[in-house]
Amino acid sequence: MQLSAWWESRAVPRSTAFKLVRIAGIEPGKVRVDGSRSPVSFLSQQQVGALDALHARLQQGATLAQLEGALAPLRHPEPSQDTEPTPLPEEEDAMAQDALSRLKAGRLALTTGLPLTTAEVSWLLGARPGGPVVTRGRVVARKHGRNCWTLEPS
């Protein structure tokens, strides 16, 4: 069945029909039709059934947001295993070197009191500072002017 024929036969607005297709996670097939310059979207019988079920829930008073929220876990199930893959040995070395350089640079910034840029403070603290005085761990970053920071121990 053509997607356009589906929304016309159900008296569903075109925009709502496309939202329902997206919510259902349907990928309509494309078929060339006489009289059309580009391929036309076609639905399989199973896809028509899924759209009819969503349309029925809309008719019963559900909103598109509710339908999307109810079907999101079905389309994107939570992974059953750890999402953080174990780093490769060379990645572990790079991560360790990065952490060591941050520690050395942080110690040097604390002892010298040298003014730092916002980007440098972000790298040292591991987060962009959000106010004039930011405490992260046992380090306080103080803003002295535009793009001018110093670090001190807390």
Say which amino acid occupies 41. Answer: S
Q: What is the mean pLDDT of the chain?
A: 85
Helix %, strand %, coil % for the chain, to 5?
50, 15, 35
Output the pTM of the full model. 0.45
Choose the weakest-confidence range: 14-28, 75-89, 127-141: 75-89
Q: List the chain domain ranges.
A: 3-75, 105-153
In three-state secondary structure terms, 127 is coil
12-64 pLDDT tens trace: 999 999 999 988 888 898 888 888 788 889 999 999 998 999 899 889 988 88
pLDDT value at 70 more than 80: no
Select from 2.60.120, 1.10.1660, 3.30.70, 2.50.20 the CATH code of 3-75: 1.10.1660
